[in-house]
């Protein structure tokens, strides 16, 4: 459930009409609902209640806006981060360093140092050499890094190839058959406290069976590691739960997921770590846009909107579907293609779709844009960087400015020798 509903004929975010935000902030603009974020955070927490000891680290790559992180920090959420920049964001938004998990296949030395200096709670190690380097740096600082070994369970998550991460040919984790040996060697290094294993098999998952299969393999591994004399205190189950991008879609709920996890991990006697991203923020945001033209097409009209693939990359990158809805629907419908102004045919949000009838100047939204939306935006075609707004009841705030094309221009130099 979200808080983007029609009231008096106008689509609102909570109690704020989107027409007001468009007038005052301009378009395109991302709009988030605080109440929806809070609700999703609570529903996820309640969903996993049956699993026992647990910790939730929001995958901030899904939406790193600091106001969003602050809302989740107030809900007791930690963060799953994948870069030094994300570490800084999580902490400056109010997340406790000990509640932060550092994932990522290419952590640099500088990032490992930064993470140790701020006191990150858990490192998810992706390869043996990373563990060796982390141990050295930690020992040289007189610290001990708490870590898990990320394992690649070799299961097909059944999602888009570009967001699938748990097959053996993917770049993530160590092969499960090599994991005991690597774990054993890392566990003997000073500076490192190896406390468990981690996995994440993919994103936008609609089927719990591959997850359950992966957890089964991890359970086996935990048993093997304990058999070798290792103390296993935590298992990081990653994220991946899908969200409905179309009204008729029905992905497993956090409660369905929690029940499966409770069953699959029964008797593990560990703290379970969760790294949800999309399921928390996806439906808590829309991308508000204005129709520039209705361009007659050969087969059907093109609705040309002022948002483009640089603002919302998912359709161009993953052929992703985002529902399109008029802010002031008339009840009329039309069949059209929807595209942005960027000079690529890939800058198309939909082809031949039945949508609310719109005309030049009308406002509309792409729904379910709260996850992997603004954060994947760029300034391609020298377009401004898209701003973000958060609504809370009848008030709203701009939580990220629109960065003008000219500001970006100011950060560029023409060297003297080109004078």
Q: Which residue from 33, 36, 65, 103 is in contact with ligand LLP, where contact means CB under 6 A?
A: 103
How far is 170 from 400, CA to CA, in rounded Å?
A: 34
What is the C-alpha separation between 297 and 307, in angstroms, rounded? 19
126 scored as a contact of ligand LLP (CB under 6 A): no
Percentages helix, strand, coil for the chain (3-state, rounded to 5) are 35, 25, 40
Question: Among all chains, which residue has been given the structure tokens 């566990």?
Answer: 187
**How close are the terminal C-alpha atoms of the chain, in Å?**
58
208 binds ligand LLP (CB under 6 A): no
Give residue for tokens 């406290």: 193
Q: Is 363 helix (H, G, I), strand (E, B) or coil?
A: strand
Three-state DSSP at 357 gives coil
> Given the complex with ligand LLP, which of 2 and 275 has the nearer CB atom?
275
Residue numbers 157-176 binding ligand LLP by CB under 6 A: 163
Is the Cβ of residue 16 or residue 93 nearer to ligand LLP in the bound state? 93
Cβ burial 42-69 (10 Å sphere, 16+ → b, else e): eebbebbeebeebbbbbbbbbbbbbbbb
- Nearest distance from residue 342's CB to ligand LLP, in Å? 18
Q: What is the per-residue binding string for ligand LLP in 39-78, x denoting contact by CB under 6 A?
A: --------------------x--x----------------
Closer residue to ligand LLP in complex, CB, 122/204: 204
The residues near 353 (Cβ < 8 Å, ≥ 6 apart) are 324, 335, 336, 337, 338
Show the beta-strand stretches assigned E in 18-121.
29-33, 54-59, 78-81, 100-102
| Structural contact between residues 389 and 29, judged by C-beta atoms closer than 8 angstroms | yes
252 belongs to the binding site for ligand LLP (CB under 6 A)? no
79 versus 145: smaller Cβ distance to ligand LLP: 79
Cα-based torsion angle of the residue sequence 43, 47, 52, 58 in order, rounded to the nearest 10 degrees: -50
Residue 343 is a catalytic residue: yes
Q: How many residues bind ligand LLP (CB under 6 A)?
A: 20
Least distance CB 276 / ligand LLP (angstroms): 5
Nearer to ligand LLP by C-beta: 17 or 240? 240
Q: Does 81 bind ligand LLP (CB under 6 A)?
A: no
* By the rule CB under 6 A, 254 interacts with ligand LLP: no
Q: Which span sits near ligand LLP by CB under 6 A: 199-207, 209-217, 324-332, 381-389?
A: 199-207
CA dihedral 123→128→129→134, nearest 10 degrees, is 30
Question: Among 132, 239, 145, 115, which Cα is nearest to 183's?
Answer: 132
Q: 14-43 mask for ligand LLP (x: CB under 6 A)? A: ------------------------------
> Which C-beta is closer to ligand LLP: that of 314 or that of 367?
314
Instruction: Identify the active-site residue in 1, 343, 418, 419.
Output: 343
Q: How far is CA 282 from the centre of its chain?
A: 8
Residue 102 or 183 having the CB closest to ligand LLP: 102
Among 99, 130, 275, 388, which residue sits at the site for ligand LLP (rule: CB under 6 A)?
275
The alpha-carbon radius of gyration of the chain (Å, integer) is 23
User: What is the contact mask toward ligand LLP in residues 289 to 328, using x (rule: CB under 6 A)?
Assistant: -------------------------x---x----------
User: Does position 107 bind ligand LLP by CB under 6 A?
Assistant: no
Closest distance of CB 300 from ligand LLP, Å: 27
- For ligand LLP, which residue of 33, 193, 203, 348 counts as binding (CB under 6 A)? 203
Q: Is 215 helix (H, G, I), strand (E, B) or coil?
A: helix
- For residues 199 and 153, is the Cβ–Cβ distance under 8 A? yes
| Calpha distance 25→9 (Å, rounded) | 21
Q: How far is the CB of 373 from ligand LLP (least distance, A)?
A: 8
Applying CB under 6 A, does 195 fall inside the site for ligand LLP? no
Q: Which is nearer to ligand LLP, 62 or 67 (CB)?
A: 62
Q: Select the span of 42-50, 269-277, 323-331, 387-395 touching ligand LLP (CB under 6 A).
A: 269-277
Q: Which residues are catalytic?
A: 343
Residues in contact with ligand LLP by the rule CB under 6 A: 59, 62, 80, 103, 163, 200, 203-204, 238-241, 275-279, 314, 318, 372
């Amino acid at each position: 459930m979200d808080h983007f509903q029609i009231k008096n004929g106008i689509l609102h975010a909570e109690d704020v009409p989107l027409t007001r935000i468009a007038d005052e902030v301009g378009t395109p603009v991302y709009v988030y609902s605080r109440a929806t974020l809070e609700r999703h955070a609570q529903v996820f927490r309640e969903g996993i209640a049956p699993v026992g000891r647990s910790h939730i680290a929001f995958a901030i790559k899904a939406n790193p806006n600091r106001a969003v992180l602050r809302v989740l920090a107030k809900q007791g959420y930690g963060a799953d981060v994948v870069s030094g920049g994300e570490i800084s964001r999580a902490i400056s938004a109010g997340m406790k360093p000990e509640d932060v998990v550092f994932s990522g296949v290419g952590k640099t030395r500088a990032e490992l140092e930064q993470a140790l200096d701020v006191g990150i709670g858990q490192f998810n190690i992706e390869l043996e050499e990373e563990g060796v380097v982390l141990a050295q740096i930690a020992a040289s600082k007189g610290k001990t890094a708490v870590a898990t070994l990320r394992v690649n369970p070799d299961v097909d998550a059944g999602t888009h190839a570009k967001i699938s991460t748990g097959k053996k040919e993917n770049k993530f984790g160590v092969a499960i058959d090599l994991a005991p040996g690597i774990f054993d060697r890392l566990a003997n290094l000073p500076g490192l406290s190896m406390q468990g294993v981690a996995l994440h098999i993919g994103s936008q998952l609609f089927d719990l069976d591959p997850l359950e299969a992966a957890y089964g393999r991890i359970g086996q591994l935990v048993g093997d590691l304990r058999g070798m004399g290792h103390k296993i205190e935590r298992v990081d189950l990653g994220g991946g739960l899908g969200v409905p991008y179309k009204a008729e879609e029905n992905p497993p709920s956090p409660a369905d997921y929690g029940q499966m996890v409770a069953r699959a991990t029964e008797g593990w006697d560990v703290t379970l770590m969760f790294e949800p991203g999309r399921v928390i923020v996806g439906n808590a945001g829309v991308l508000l846009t204005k129709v520039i033209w209705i361009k007659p097409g050969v087969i059907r009209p093109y609705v040309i909107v002022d948002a483009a693939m640089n603002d919302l990359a998912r359709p161009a990158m993953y052929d992703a579907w985002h529902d399109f809805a008029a802010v002031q629907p008339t009840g009329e419908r039309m069949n059209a293609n929807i595209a942005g102004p960027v000079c690529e045919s890939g800058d198309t949000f939909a082809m031949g779709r039945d949508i609310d009838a719109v005309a030049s100047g009308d406002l509309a939204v792409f729904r379910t844009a709260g996850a992997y939306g603004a954060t994947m935006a760029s300034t391609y075609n020298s377009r401004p960087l898209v701003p973000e707004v958060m609504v809370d009841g009848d008030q709203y705030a701009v939580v990220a400015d629109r960065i003008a094309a000219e500001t970006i221009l100011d950060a560029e130099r023409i060297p003297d020798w080109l004078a």
